[in-house]
Structure 1
Amino acid sequence: MTENPQQPQDQPAPQLTEEEMAYVVSLFDMAREGRTEELLPAVQAGVPVNLTNGKGDTLLILAAYHQQEDTVAALLGAGADPDRVNDNGQTALMSAIFRGNEAVVRALLEAGASQTAGAHSAADFARVFERTDLLAVLEEYPAR
């Protein structure tokens, strides 16, 4: 008989210690601040590349929003899902469009980011936030 490695349904999930929680929070700070040289080894050591915070923001969404081009590239290279949607229906692509960062928009599109993932299309998002300069960039990439 084999053991079931899953936790029994009636037992609560283990809680993180204060130290562990501080470390997890620091990972999101690393993404925001572009501290790729600290963040990437953590991901390579086993931190989920699609880790989300309490708002559903992934490391990639935060890096894109804060215009951290190198961090975005490193997370994409490590397998981050560019189409993950946060609790507000936004993706990393929408974050980059909102901030008007063409380089991050291009990096995400080149990694296969969908222009229709999330609550709005990328083009609609660009129009709403008056980032119409990025519409030409979006048109360069086939919509998925």
Structure 2
Amino acid sequence: MADRPTLDDETLAFAERMFDLARHGDAAQLQTMLEGGLPANLRNSKGDSLLMLASYNGQLDAAEVLLTHGSDPELANDRCQTPLAGVLFKGDMAMLELLLTHGADANGCPQGGKPPLMYAAMFNRTDMLERLLQAGADAQATDADGKTALDLARAMGAQDAITLLERF
């Protein structure tokens, strides 16, 4: 990843307050800040966007505000994870729906990452597997190691996911 600019303490403190607004779901304050020019895709030192933090922490209203103001649901962090990865890890179906509605790619996979279906498979989230498949996720897609969602479900012992994915 490219070098990031060095920021002064005041700017860093402001940015941290914005990340806290996203984590804690202060949708009204985020709305005000976005209308005032806050970049919708602001990222922290780990590459987590405001949307990543809001979605991972289940802050549906904050995520909606961010998406409405142009947050990119496909923006990956430094671990090659998009907001869908965190949502699938947490099992938040409402957030999954919101992200898909706002353009998150059911097959989206940043360089070096895993397609969303793999996260749902590993954590045995069959309702989310079914929703991703309905949204066009490819059950045969592979990660950088050549593994499919079924392979990862088997490695994790995710029996319900295995049963579902064996049909594809």
Normalising by the smaller structure, the TM-score range is: 0.7 to 0.9
Does the 8 Å contact 2:30/2:65 carry over to 1?
A: no
Q: 1:24, CA displacement in angstroms?
A: 0.8
Q: 1:133, CA displacement in angstroms?
A: 2.4
C-alpha distance in structure 2 between counterparts of 1:29 and 1:46, whole Å: 17
Q: 1:95, CA displacement in angstroms?
A: 1.1
Q: 1:141, CA displacement in angstroms?
A: 1.5
1:127 aligns with 121
C-alpha distance in structure 1 between counterparts of 2:33 and 2:105, whole Å: 27
For residue 117 of structure 1, the aligned residue among 92, 109, 113 is 109
Structure 1 runs (4+) greater than 4 angstroms displaced: none
Aligned length: 131
Instruction: Provide the identity percentage.
Output: 37
> What RMSD, in angstroms, separates the aligned Cα atoms of the two structures?
1.6
1:6 aligns with none
C-alpha distance in structure 1 between counterparts of 2:35 and 2:96, whole Å: 24
The one-letter code sitting in structure 2 at the alignment partner of 1:52 is: R
2:160 aligns with none
C-alpha distance in structure 2 between counterparts of 1:18 and 1:69, whole Å: 30
The one-letter code sitting in structure 2 at the alignment partner of 1:131 is: R
Does the 8 Å contact 2:117/2:137 carry over to 1?
A: no
SS at match of 1:133: helix
Q: 1:1-144 counterparts in 2 under 5 A?
A: 16-115=7-106, 116-118=108-110, 119-143=113-137
Q: 1:104, CA displacement in angstroms?
A: 0.4
